[in-house]
Amino acid sequence: MIRNLGGAVALLLSSTAAFAASHGETGVTIVLPEELDIVDPCEASRSNVGRVVLQNVAETITELTPDEGLQPRLAESWEDLGGGTWQFKLKDGVTFHDGSAFGATDVAHSLERIKSENISCEIGAKFFGGIELTTEVVDDTTINITADPAQPILPLLLSTVTVVPEETSMDAYVDVPVGTGPYTFDEYNRGQDIKLSLNENYWGETPTVTNATYVFRSDSAVMAAMVANGEADIAPAIALQDATDPEMDFSYPNSETVYIRLDTEMAPLNDVRVRQAMNYAVDREAFIGTILADGTLLATAINPPSTIGYNHDLEPFPYDPEKAKELLAAAAADGVPTDMEITFIGRNNNWGNVVETLEALTAMWADVGLNVKLQMVEVAEWLEHYSNPFPEDRGPEIVAAMHDNANGDPVFSVYFKYASEGLQSGVRDAGLDDMIAAATAATGDERAALWSDLFEYIQMEQVYDVLLFHMVGFSRVNPRLDFEPSIRTNSELQLSQISFK
Amino acid sequence: MKTFLRKRAVASAFSLIGLVILVFFLSRLTGDPTDLYLPVDASAEARENFREIHGLNDPLLVQFGRYVWDLAHFDFGMSIRRAEPALDAVLRGFAWTLQLAVITMTLVTVMAIIVGSLAAYRVGGVFDRLATFFSLIGASAPDFWIAIVAIVVFSVGLGWVPTSGTGGWEYWILPIAVLFIRPFGLILQVVRGSMISTLSSAYVKTARAKGLKNRPIIFVHALRNAMLPVITVIGDQAAALLNGAVVVETIFGFPGVGKLMIDSILQRDFTVILAAIMVTAFAIFVMNLLIDILYAVLDPRIRY
């Protein structure tokens, strides 16, 4: 009997080795927190889709890299022809996974498709809202793209556009994405896994990883256990409490910035002294290493520090409750209703420990005499408060939000968050609108300088919001891999950047 | 029997119609799926386009009429999120859940009947006390806690089984073991109680007086009569599993219908929510019918 039991245990143990190494020595298994509902490359700006498809299966015309800035990918070079038109020279000799040749007509089709009215592509909705794109195919490897209104950063915008063959349907999402990338999309066993394998005809350098399997687990503890157990190699997004092993766990700036959007049109928030007081009242350092992860940075802009034009000279507001009280007293003396109730809208599950963060902020504001009432709501109700037009019968309101910009340029954020017509802007400032327009239209060093001035104006002169934290994410990586997560890990996971030790 | 089946079918059809109406309108109360599907930065134009594509701009009654018309043609509609027919996603998930439920309930039933019957034979004995103690713990321990502890101990610690996912037989061990515990505890208690009352009845005493051995007394004569209340509880527990073992499916990454339903509710994927509810409601109707038939088989006095 005991011998039989021992045999059964031995059998179990031997089968364990089989599932731990099932992906092969040059294959990797990646465990994602969310199953992919759609695998179409035009949805690659969504992090769960992007981590599988972006630059692995479907490539972009240009590529933003954290250290080198904007680089060519499917383009060789580009040139501003003026009048909103840019000319792109494309790589020659590139083929799609279906064997067809890549060319200018595919780029034209991909740009048209992301704006198709019959499917709802996130890349089109997120990056090209209000922009008309027209294309002129000059020859097989040359295309002129005109944006109306003119986009000085069109090459950067094209780093978001995945290129698909011109035969791809305009009316339906694809089930099997076809691109030019180093990996082909082989299988999608819905609910279970996705399998990619090496594209033997890839135009670029051959990557080390030969195949990848993506599996989906929504529980962070399980994702971490899978990497610890050798069942997976990378868990790109685990929770702070599961990142317990310094040998395997990495923290990285995840391009998310937490801030409090103020409705600057209403009293008492229309007085700059009240806005300053709200900033001085917050002990930002107290959050880090307690309810927020170590490594979280204090923010002085709505974009992460790697964004062009980030003003590194700006200092976060120091914690100075006495100064906050003085400012409020001065405002009250001038008739500003500083004791008026301010509704503070937070969104459930917006980030880890969101409730604790917002409750602590509320308490800090109460300590200096502000009357802030916290209200946690679900995403749809939160959007009603966050997005214009705001409810007409509202009182003074502030909204906690987390904004993601991994695209390297403030243009992806600033118009939406600060322009008078911006969808989530609580600011109505014609001067600022002009500054945004000027920075958006500028190029090169002038552009960086204008953004830098603009951030100083927002943070120091007008104090239009309460900027708080640049957040960090956590990944667990199997020690057999030579891979370190970066700011891009929030939106993509390029298999070609992974090698083995 | 045929009349009974016809009556049950008609009653169930009315229930399903009521369910469709209720779920259709209640799910619409949760808000606009556009808010969840598109990024917060999406333009008003993109939002409008999304609503137009998915018919969300039409008045609610028009949307309902269109849904019922499609349903009459067995068309459950396309999933808003998944770019595939809602019914395909649901049936795929249901197949996984059905396998999980059938295997678990078979094991639970066999084990609970054996252990419960033996515990009832010597009430207050060591075996009875142990069985009662562990079944009460099993019936009251939370699934998610057992699941995480099981992964930490048996997968990460001992390395005996995979943490999660699907694949060979070894992937089924932990999910089934975790799902097993609660219904086993509950059904064991019912079997025990029912057997205690049956074993004290006159015909069992007569059988003992005739010199019959314990095994045929318990498992042939007493068990069949003790099974009626047990069948009811088994049906109840099986229905809960068919509705989706949400916690277990979520933790173990098991692609069942329970996880699909929760994801669809969170994403406001209305067509999948409705299809999932219709499919599970139909499955529960079939199961209840089987239980009714089983009653008649077990107790010849019951006739429909």
Higher pLDDT, B212 or A23: B212
Instruction: Place B217 in a pLDDT band, splitting at 50, 70 and 90.
Output: confident
Q: Based on the domain organization, do A89 and A107 belong to the same domain?
A: yes
Locate CATH 1.10.3720.10 in chain B. Answer: 86-298
**What pLDDT is recorded for position A306?**
85
Q: How many interchain CB pairs under 8 A, A with B?
A: 137
**Residue contact B159–A45, C-beta within 8 A:** no
Q: Which of A448-462, B148-162, B203-217 has the lowest mean pLDDT?
A: B203-217
Q: CATH no. for residue A143? A: 3.90.76.10
Of the candidates A152, A180, A208, which is a domain's last residue? A180
Q: Is residue A342 part of a domain?
A: yes
Report d(CA B114, CA B103) in Å as an integer. 17
- CA dist A258 → A271, A473, B121 (Å): 23, 13, 65
- Please indicate, yes or no, if residue A170 is contained in any of the structural domains: yes
From the list A218, A230, A212, A336, the residue with the least C-alpha distance to A274 is A336
Give the model confidence (pLDDT) of B88-143 as tens digits: 999 999 999 999 999 999 999 999 999 988 888 888 888 889 988 888 888 888 88
Q: Do A457 and A482 belong to one domain?
A: no
Mutant choice from A226, A248, A399 vs B, greatest count of B C-beta within 10 A: A226
Identity of residue B276? A
Q: Give the pLDDT confidence score for residue A21 in this predicted structure.
A: 43
Same domain, A283 and A376: yes
**List of chain A residues whose C-beta atoms are within 8 Å of the C-beta of residue B148:** 219, 221-222
Kindly state whether residue A311 falls inside one of the protein's structural domains.
yes
What's residue B68's pLDDT? 86
Task: Provide block-wise average pLDDT over 10 residues at a time, chain A (501 residues).
Answer: 42 44 77 88 89 96 82 94 93 95 96 86 82 93 92 88 95 92 94 93 94 92 92 91 90 91 93 97 95 92 91 95 97 95 91 91 97 89 82 88 86 87 88 91 87 95 96 93 87 92 86
CA-to-CA dists, residue B19 to B27, B244, B275, B297, angstroms: 12, 18, 11, 31
Which CATH number does the domain housing residue A449 bear?
A: 3.10.105.10
- Residue ending a domain, among A162, A180, A198, is A180
Asked whether residue A204 falls in the same domain as residue A169, the answer is: no
Separation in Å, CA A18 to CA A13, A23, A481, B79: 9, 10, 19, 37
In chain A, how long is the greatest CA-to-CA distance? 89
Q: In this structure, what are the phi and psi dihedrals at residue A282, rounded to the nearest 5 degrees?
A: -95, 125
Per CB-CB distance under 8 Å, the chain A contacts of B89 are 190
Would you call A117 and B44 a contact, using CB atoms and an 8 Å cutoff? no
- The answer to whether residues A356 and A460 belong to one domain is yes
- Give percent of chain B above pLDDT 90: 16
B83 and chain A in contact, CB less than 8 A: yes
Does residue A213 sit in the same domain as residue A260? no
Whether A185 is in a domain gets the answer yes
- The verdict on residue A8 lying in a domain is no
B39–A38 C-beta distance less than 8 A: no
Query: Whole-model pTM above 0.90?
Result: no
| A426 and A498 co-located in one domain | no
A192 and A311 fall within a common domain? no
- State how many domains chain A has: 3
ipTM exceeding 0.90, yes/no: no
Strand-pair category, A341-347 with A371-377: parallel
Q: State which residues form the domain around A121.
A: 58-180
Measured CA to CA, the distance from residue A230 to residue A17 in angstroms comes to: 9
Q: Rounded CA gap, A70 and A64, in Å?
A: 4
Q: Which residues of B touch A114 (CB under 8 A)?
A: none
Determine the pLDDT at residue A138: 95
Which CATH number characterizes residue A240's domain? 3.40.190.10
Whole-number pLDDT of residue A20 = 55
Say if A43 falls within a structural domain.
no
Cβ–Cβ below 8 Å for B46 and A125: yes
The answer to whether residues A300 and A433 belong to one domain is yes
**Do A215 and B46 lie within an 8 Å CB cutoff?**
no
CA B196 to CA B122: how far, in whole Å?
9
- Whether residues A241 and A264 share a domain: the answer is no
Which of B30, B41, B47, B171 has the most A C-beta neighbours within 10 Å, making it the best mutation to test the interface with A? B41
- Detail the DSSP E strand segments found in A126-225: 132-139, 142-148, 183-189, 193-198, 211-216
Nearest-CB residue to A221 (from B148, B159, B263): B148
A285 and A268 share a domain? yes
Helices marked H in A146-264: 154-157, 220-228
For residues A233 and A260, state if they share a domain. Answer: no
Res B234 pLDDT > 50: yes
Q: How far is CA A146 from the centre of its chain?
A: 26
The CATH superfamily holding the domain B86-298 is: MetI-like (1.10.3720.10)
* Domain-located, residue A23: no
Instruction: Enumerate residues 6+ apart whose C-beta is below 8 A from B280.
Output: B94, B242, B243, B244, B257, B261
Q: What residues pair up with B64 in beta bridges, in sequence order?
A: none
Return residues 49-68 of B near A (CB < 8 Å): 49-50, 52-53
Whether residue A11 is contained in a domain is answered as no
Res A15: pLDDT: 43
Residues of chain A contacting B164 with CB distance shorter than 8 Å: 217, 222, 226, 231
How many whole angstroms separate alpha carbon B68 and alpha carbon B25? 13
